Amino acid sequence: MSQLINPTTGKGIGDLVVAELRLMYGSKFAQAWEGLTPREVKDAWNQMLAGFTEAEARVGIVACLSRDWPPTLPEFIRLCRPWMSPEVAFHDAVTGMTARRRGEIGNWAHPAIYWAAVAVGTHDLLNCGYGVLKGRWERAFGDEMARGQWHPVPTPAAALPAPGATQATPEEAAKALKAMGAGAVLNESGRDPRRGARRILAAVKKGNASYSPTVIAMAQAAMDAYPDQGAQA
């Protein structure tokens, strides 16, 4: 099982934010928290911003430059993490899953976005707009965020090479497949000579096996090199 990611402690982030907001808003900030001592205000912000990084806090502070009035704590949290908006997270998921189809891991603001995308399904995510998937996405994203800890985003399975794109020869394919114990890819017993190659490509497609790009190319070369002769599997 993959190691879980736990939110990091953000002790002192609230002190930083309160100091910055007081400089930006002056008496407006004091009015918003009237009735509390300065220490109580900092304690409240420290508690609510536990788990936030300084970089995230800076994002929220910069966003405040366009606001005439200081944000409430919930508003500031959303400013720090714009991806917490379901619609923003949805579009991030579309971008990330598109990258994974190219064999890239994708840029994910938070692992919960990836796992919500998995729950919804890549096909629907990439072929239906937010308006269509809004309800499903919000439920999936909300469920993932509620977990509190998340597995990291996994490395995508290697993409299969396009037919004919490999430069491997049949001899190279046979040698590589035999060397890795794939079975009788070039079998003298009358079985399908592409049986091992087909098994490798099927495993990669399902994401159940991890082969190097070279081995995958060799398997594809074996499939391209030997026509289907109706041999028994």
Whether 93 and 60 map to the same domain: the answer is: no
Q: Residue 165 falls within a domain, yes or no?
A: no
What's the pLDDT score for residue 220?
72
Whether 138 and 185 map to the same domain: the answer is: no
Whether 174 and 213 map to the same domain: the answer is: yes
What's the pLDDT score for residue 21?
95
Among 95, 111, 146, identify where a domain stops.
146
Give, in degrees to the nearest 5, the angle at Cα 221 between 217 and 224.
Answer: 140
User: Whose CA is closest to 120, among 160, 86, 148?
Assistant: 86
For 25, 46, 83, 148, the CA distances from 30, given in Å and listed in that order, are 8, 17, 29, 33
Asked if residues 195 and 223 have their Cβ atoms less than 8 Å apart, the reply is: no
Whether 198 and 212 map to the same domain: the answer is: yes
Whether 71 and 100 map to the same domain: the answer is: no
Among 49, 80, 111, identify where a domain stops.
80
Q: Which pairs count as long-range contacts for 151-155, CB under 8 Å and 24+ apart, including other chains?
A: 151/1, 151/2, 151/4, 151/5, 151/111, 151/115, 152/2, 152/3, 152/5, 152/111, 153/105, 153/106, 153/108, 153/111, 153/114, 154/2, 155/105
Whether 95 and 131 map to the same domain: the answer is: yes
Q: Residue 61 falls within a domain, yes or no?
A: yes
Whether 17 and 50 map to the same domain: the answer is: yes
> Tokens 């430069």 sit at which residue?
167
- Number of domains the chain contains: 3
Give, in degrees to the nearest 5, the angle at Cα 5 between 99 and 13.
Answer: 105
pLDDT tens over the chain, length 233 residues: 333 333 444 458 999 999 999 999 999 999 999 999 999 999 999 999 988 889 889 999 999 999 999 999 999 998 998 888 899 999 999 999 999 999 999 999 899 999 999 999 999 999 999 999 999 999 999 999 898 889 999 998 765 555 555 555 656 655 555 555 544 433 444 456 567 777 777 777 776 656 666 677 777 766 666 555 444 44
What's the pLDDT score for residue 142?
92
For 18, 45, 67, 175, the CA distances from 76, given in Å and listed in that order, are 11, 10, 11, 61
Q: Residue 158 falls within a domain, yes or no?
A: no
Q: Residue 127 falls within a domain, yes or no?
A: yes
Q: Residue 194 falls within a domain, yes or no?
A: yes
Among 113, 146, 179, identify where a domain stops.
146
Q: Residue 203 falls within a domain, yes or no?
A: yes
Phi/psi at 232 (5° precision): -80, 145
Whether 53 and 73 map to the same domain: the answer is: yes
CA distance 213 to 195: 19
Whether 21 and 50 map to the same domain: the answer is: yes
> Tokens 């720090």 sit at which residue?
80
Instruction: Provide the residue count of the chain.
Output: 233
Whether 70 and 88 map to the same domain: the answer is: no
CA atoms within 13 A on the CB side of 136: 13
Whether 23 and 75 map to the same domain: the answer is: yes
What's the pLDDT score for residue 196?
73
CA distance 223 to 69: 66
What's the pLDDT score for residue 41?
94
Asked if residues 125 and 117 have their Cβ atoms less than 8 Å apart, the reply is: yes
Q: Residue 74 falls within a domain, yes or no?
A: yes
Q: Residue 121 falls within a domain, yes or no?
A: yes
Give the range of the structural domain holding residue 118, as residue numbers without chain letter: 84-146
Whether 89 and 48 map to the same domain: the answer is: no
Beta bridge partners, 5, equal 150
